[in-house]
Structure 1
Amino acid sequence: MARGLNRVTLIGALTQTPELRYTPGGLAVLELNLAGNDLFTDEQGQPREVPWYHRVKLLGRMAEFWNEGLKAGMAVFVDGRLEYRTWEQEGQKRSSLEIRAERVEALNLEGKPNPTLTDARGQERLREGLNMVMLVGNLTRDAELRYTPQGIAVARLGLAVNERYSTRQGGEQEKTHFIEAQAWRELAEYASELKEGEGVFFLGRLVNDSWTAQDGSKRYVTRVELSRLERLARGTARSGGGGSQSAKADGRAGKVDIDEGLEDFPPEEELPF
């Protein structure tokens, strides 16, 4: 079983001044809406800029500490992890993939020429942002390969990242974060050989997609667009339990369960852009 790794690093500009709020149980929550540009070179050797917008959640003392210090337009560094959550709404089971901050730093952009730009909504976005995700886990299903009408290969993958944490009562629990990923072109064709249960390392960027559900409501999904994928020599889940085995934890994160108090506080589905 692969020992889990779950890291998200973002550098972006705050699109608005965050506002502190509390759950019914008294847990402080501060949401940072960050925006930036990903800079990379495409297959034709041309530079490209791709905008991104992400919501980052701060909880507890960290939320209260940063409540007065962050303003719209500031550049912020965030180090954290992806958090998979499920809840029920109007009798239907819903899920989300959130960014949970573990460290936040305000950045000084003094001396940088035109570090931000203004988008169509009047929000600031960092020109040279950072949007990086590193994951280690086990595949929840065989890779799914298909081709676009233009003949470009694309593969969809599901990953289970496991962690252990300590509760406030001193006990230990296990949790699994389920993350969707996508690879393109040669990387997609390489990924097509991967099977359920295999241990893998993912490196990529976090993206949001949206679509309209059958009931007319707007839905969103957050996934990782892969730039690198490695198969682990060990860490493969192989036993009679099949896919359910990939949901067991082996790594030890040593974190306190800060989700206590969030059960009746489901995330907002509408993203701030």
Structure 2
Amino acid sequence: MASLNKVMLIAALGKDPEVRYTSSGTAVASLSVATTEKTKNSSGEWEDRTEWHRVVFWARQAEIAGEYLSKGKSVYIEGRLQTREYEKDGIKRYTTEIVGEKLQMLSPKGDRNNSNTDGSTSNNSGGNKSGASDKFEDQDIPF
């Protein structure tokens, strides 16, 4: 039986990437990104519905994320879902995150360097395609 585990997002960063290094020197970047869609509520009025996603990039892509991305920037991310188990205060916990495989910056060219992770320059200057606001407050981030 065939299977597919694929995630594709156009999202806005909720905070600056957190880059750290493993004991062997491999870079790991953690991102918090938001996607927003407009939906009608029961009274027929439009509302924004924001979904938060955790994304992890490894190696060179992690270094690029840390160097070029910042809070409010728009990005295109491809990856796969991964659930992992950890223990905190003696309690088993689980978290599901996106393991990033492709990263493309979408913010306008005037915003820092706008390049793909393969080193080529992006021609997309359309700004935030997700509909998510470019302004986030720290209290808006659920984790």
Q: How does 1:127-142 map to 2 (within 5 A)?
A: 128-142=2-16
Superposition RMSD on alpha carbons, in Å?
1.8
Q: Which runs of 5+ in 2 are unaligned?
A: 109-126
- Whether 1:243 and 2:118 are equivalent positions in the alignment is no
Deviation track 1:184-220 (CA, whole Å, cap 9, x = no partner) reads: 1111111112111101111000010111221x22211
TM-score (norm 1): 0.40
- Considering Cα pairs closer than 8 Å and 6+ residues apart, tell me whether 1 or 2 has the greater RCO: 2
Aligned residues: 115
**2:58 corresponding residue in structure 1:** 184
SS of the residue corresponding to residue 136 of structure 2 reads helix
**1:220 corresponding residue in structure 2:** 94
Q: Which runs of 5+ in 1 are unaligned?
A: 1-114, 116-127, 248-273
TM-score (norm 2): 0.73
Distance across 1 between alignment mates of 2:94 and 2:63 = 26
Distance across 1 between alignment mates of 2:56 and 2:7 = 13
Q: Which amino acid aligns with 1:171?
A: E
Distance across 1 between alignment mates of 2:103 and 2:83 = 20
Specify the structure having the higher radius of gyration (Cα). Answer: 1
Distance across 2 between alignment mates of 1:152 and 1:139 = 23
- Whether 1:207 and 2:82 are equivalent positions in the alignment is yes
Higher strand share: 1
TM superposition shift of 1:167: 2.0
Percentage of matched positions with identical amino acids: 33
2:19 to 117, 140, 145: 145
